[in-house]
Amino acid sequence: MTVREDHWAAAMRAERRGDAAAYEVLLREIAVMLRRLIRSRLARAGLGVEETEDVVQEILIGLHGKRHTWDAARPFMPWLFTITRYKFIDASRRLSREAKRRVNLTMEEMTEIFEAPIEDPDRTLSDIDRYLADLPQGQRQVVRALGVDGATVRATAEQLQTSEGSVRVSYHRALRRLMAKSQRENAP
């Protein structure tokens, strides 16, 4: 702890003399420490740990912008932790505000959900037929057997009088084709 204190305080003083290399090493070391600290704090606060890197960057920018407020005659760690605490509180307030907005369900949204047409299972089936119709004969048979009827690969291979390997290959080709088609149709 005191080793790190002395080491980091020395790097902060080096920054004031314009030593960019020492300052860069310092910021990297602080970032490693912050990444661990912030990740665990976010998890404990029930906020998304995927925001860790953003929060770490906010703290780095904050300490960089306010680095002149550190008194070189005083310990560096208390200064760093005060800044970190402030920036973390700031970020966690923003994150929980955003989380609230995401889960907020308004009356209008409720009404929309209830009034939305219930999906017709028959229509979904005919959709499958429509998609499958575009596939070559062999692939269509494989997809129908594996994907719709739920048969095993071996049973399908026996039925179509081919190898299990070629059933798998056709199945993957067909899926790729269907995926591409559905993306084309759903694109805005």
Partner 1 sequence: MVSTLNTNDLIGSLARQAGSGRVAGPRGFNTVLIVAALCSFTISVALVLAVFGVGPDFAAGHHAPLIYKIVSMLMLSAGGLLLASRAALPGSGRLTLMALLPAAVLLAFRAATDQSGLSVLGAETISVPGCILAILIASVVPLTILIGVLRLGASTRPALAGAIAGMLAGALGAAAYSLACKNDGGMFVAIWYPLAVLLVAALGAVIARRALAW
> Which position has the token pair 């907005």?
101
- By CB atoms closer than 10 A (0-12, 13-18, 19+), residue 74 is exposed
Candidate ranges 61-69, 104-112, 113-121, 153-161; the one touching partner 1 (CB under 8 A): 61-69
Nearer to partner 1, 56 or 135 (CB): 56
Residue in 43, 86, 98, 125 binding partner 1, rule: CB under 8 A: 86
- State the nearest-atom distance from the C-beta of 102 to partner 1, in Å: 20
User: Which residue, 19, 15, 22, 26, is CA-closest to 60?
Assistant: 26
- State the nearest-atom distance from the C-beta of 42 to partner 1, in Å: 14
CA dist., res. 62 & res. 81, Å (int): 12
Nearer to partner 1, 71 or 122 (CB): 71
User: Which residue, 101, 59, 50, 96, is CA-closest to 81?
Assistant: 59
Nearer to partner 1, 53 or 164 (CB): 53
Both structure tokens of 148: 């719709």
Assess 90 for contact with partner 1 (CB under 8 A): yes
CA dist., res. 71 & res. 183, Å (int): 59
Assess 28 for contact with partner 1 (CB under 8 A): yes
Q: Are 42 and 52 in contact (CB under 8 A)?
A: yes
Q: Are 81 and 41 in contact (CB under 8 A)?
A: no
Residue in 5, 7, 31, 138 binding partner 1, rule: CB under 8 A: 31
Assess 5 for contact with partner 1 (CB under 8 A): no
Nearer to partner 1, 72 or 125 (CB): 72
Residues that bind partner 1 (CB under 8 A): 14-24, 27-28, 31, 53-54, 56-57, 60-62, 64-72, 74-75, 78-79, 81-83, 85-86, 90
